[in-house]
């Protein structure tokens, strides 16, 4: 399923890649669209086999994803983004991965993410800020997490009766599944390309909003003292820890080192914006940030 939040310029090329999948005839494709333009109508005209679920009330991305997961009927449900570009065998690899691990507490399988926008230093700064932990190559392994835009689930294991996950990012769903004994794995064959839908200024804002929403969700049941302690800790520790983590994760891959060096100052600035967002989320809550993310 695909949440539609960035418009037809991004969604149509994504669906064209979906149409070229080697097992397209076996796929149920669901687009959950919240836009106020003609994107949904264009999809219905150009891709008549795609099921479009419109959300006229402007739902959040977690709500769109949850709606798609509940609407799907296939035993394996995969989630991508409207600016993703799939290799022809991606869907085939998803099914192969679930067959390979069937009977091993398999339930959540994600894949590496490759940069599909490489024209500018900003493109690399954006990608490495967001996806350094999932940069190929990656081996088949159990993992603490996967990308929310490149993940597949065995539908029977999803807690679809619990609609609180419609208001939470994927990490909360993964934590619940792992608590139930479900394994989370990486499958190298599920690599997809991620294109950059933002300008530099837009990404600064989105980075702040996303970080604030994440922190607000985490702290939703905390008291004031704990909120202040975490906000202070974020401002003291994260400004040096996060850039070092990104640098290490990329450098050890032995690739894209030039792009890392050139984009590092911009990466640091983006990470600091995210830290500011976390501090605001811990201290002041969501503030409408989740609804503004695209």
- Both 32 and 176 in a single domain? yes
**Are 283 and 155 found together in one domain?**
no
Per-residue pLDDT tens digits for 47-93 = 999 999 988 777 999 999 999 999 999 999 999 999 999 999 999 99
pLDDT of residue 193: 97
**2-4 vs 30-33, strand pairing mode:** parallel
Q: Does 29 share its domain with 100?
A: yes
If asked whether residues 208 and 282 sit together in one domain, one would say yes
Q: Is residue 243 a part of any domain in this protein?
A: yes
Question: Is residue 241 one of the residues assigned to a domain?
Answer: yes
- Please give the distance of CA 79 from its chain centroid, rounded to a whole number: 9
The verdict on 220 and 93 lying in the same domain is: no
Judgement on whether residues 185 and 90 belong to the same structural domain of the protein: yes
Supply the pLDDT for residue 101. Answer: 87
Residue 103 within a domain: yes
Whether the per-residue pLDDT at 137 is higher than 90: the answer is yes
pTM above 0.85, yes or no: yes
CATH number at residue 169: 3.90.550.10
Q: Are residues 176 and 71 in the same domain?
A: yes
In the predicted structure, residue 42 carries a pLDDT above the cut 90: yes
Above pLDDT 70, what percent of the chain?
A: 99
pLDDT-based confidence at 106, cuts 50/70/90? confident
Mean pLDDT of the chain: 95
- Per mean pLDDT, which range of 52-66, 232-246, 252-266 is the poorest? 52-66
Together in a domain, 183 and 221: no
* Predicted confidence band of residue 223 (pLDDT cuts 50, 70, 90): very high
Last residue of a domain, one of 194, 220, 252: 194
Q: What is the mean pLDDT of residues 127-133?
A: 96
Per-residue pLDDT tens digits for 150-165: 999 999 999 999 999 9
Q: How many domains does the chain have?
A: 2
187 and 208 assigned to the same domain: no
- State residue 134's pLDDT score: 95
Pairing of strands 84-85, 106-110: unpaired
Long-range contacts of 114-120 (CB under 8 A, 24+ apart): 114/191, 114/192, 114/193, 114/194, 115/193, 115/194, 115/256, 116/85, 116/193, 116/194, 116/195, 116/196, 117/194, 117/195, 117/196, 118/259
Domain check: are 270 and 154 in the same one?
no
List the one residue out of 94, 274, 92, 56 whose CA is nearest residue 186: 94
Mean pLDDT throughout 256-274?
98
Tell whether the model's pLDDT for residue 102 goes beyond 90.
no
Last residue of a domain, one of 194, 226, 260: 194
Average pLDDT (267-287) is 97
How many Å is the Cα radius of gyration of the chain? Answer: 19
Q: Is the pLDDT of residue 104 over 90?
A: no
Work out the pLDDT band at 143, boundaries 50, 70, 90. confident
Least reliable range by pLDDT among 135-149, 201-215, 235-249: 135-149
Residue 168 is assigned to a structural domain of this protein: yes
Asked, for residue 124, whether it belongs to a domain, the answer is no
Both 190 and 214 in one domain: the answer is no
Residue 41 lies in a domain: yes
255 pLDDT higher than 80? yes
Say if residue 141's pLDDT is above 90: no
Residue 170 and residue 62 share a domain? yes
Average confidence (pLDDT) over 240-249: 96
Domain contains 238:
yes
- Region 234-246: mean pLDDT is 94
**Integer Cα distance of 131 and 149 in angstroms:** 11
- 184 pairs with which residues across the strands? 108
Range of the domain at 212: 200-292
């Amino acid at each position: 399923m695909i949440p539609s939040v960035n418009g037809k310029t991004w969604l149509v090329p994504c669906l064209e890649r979906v149409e070229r999948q080697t097992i397209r005839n076996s796929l149920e494709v669901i687009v959950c669209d919240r836009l106020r333009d003609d994107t949904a109508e264009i999809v219905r005209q150009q891709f008549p086999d795609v099921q479009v679920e419109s959300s006229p009330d402007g739902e959040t991305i977690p709500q769109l994803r949850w709606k798609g997961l509940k609407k799907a009927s296939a035993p394996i449900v995969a989630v991508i983004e409207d600016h993703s570009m799939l290799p022809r065998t991606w869907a085939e690899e998803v099914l192969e991965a679930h067959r390979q691990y069937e009977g091993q507490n398999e339930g959540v399988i994600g894949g590496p993410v490759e940069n599909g926008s490489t024209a500018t230093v900003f493109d690399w700064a954006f990608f490495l800020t967001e996806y350094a932990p999932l940069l190929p190559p990656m081996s088949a392994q159990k993992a603490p997490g996967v990308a929310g835009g490149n993940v597949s689930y065995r539908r029977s294991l999803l807690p679809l009766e619990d609609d609180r996950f419609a208001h939470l990012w994927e990490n909360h769903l993964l934590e619940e599944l792992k608590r139930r004994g479900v394994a989370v794995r990486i499958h190298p064959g599920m690599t997809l390309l991620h294109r950059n839908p933002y300008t530099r200024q837009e990404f600064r804002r989105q980075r702040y909003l996303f970080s604030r929403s994440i922190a607000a969700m985490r702290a939703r049941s905390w008291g004031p003292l704990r909120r202040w302690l975490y906000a202070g800790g974020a401002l003291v520790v994260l400004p040096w820890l996060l850039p070092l983590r990104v640098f290490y994760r990329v450098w050890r891959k032995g690739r894209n080192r030039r792009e890392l060096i050139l984009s590092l100052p911009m990466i640091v600035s983006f990470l600091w914006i995210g830290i500011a967002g976390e501090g605001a989320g811990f201290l002041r809550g969501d503030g409408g940030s989740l609804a503004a993310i695209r």
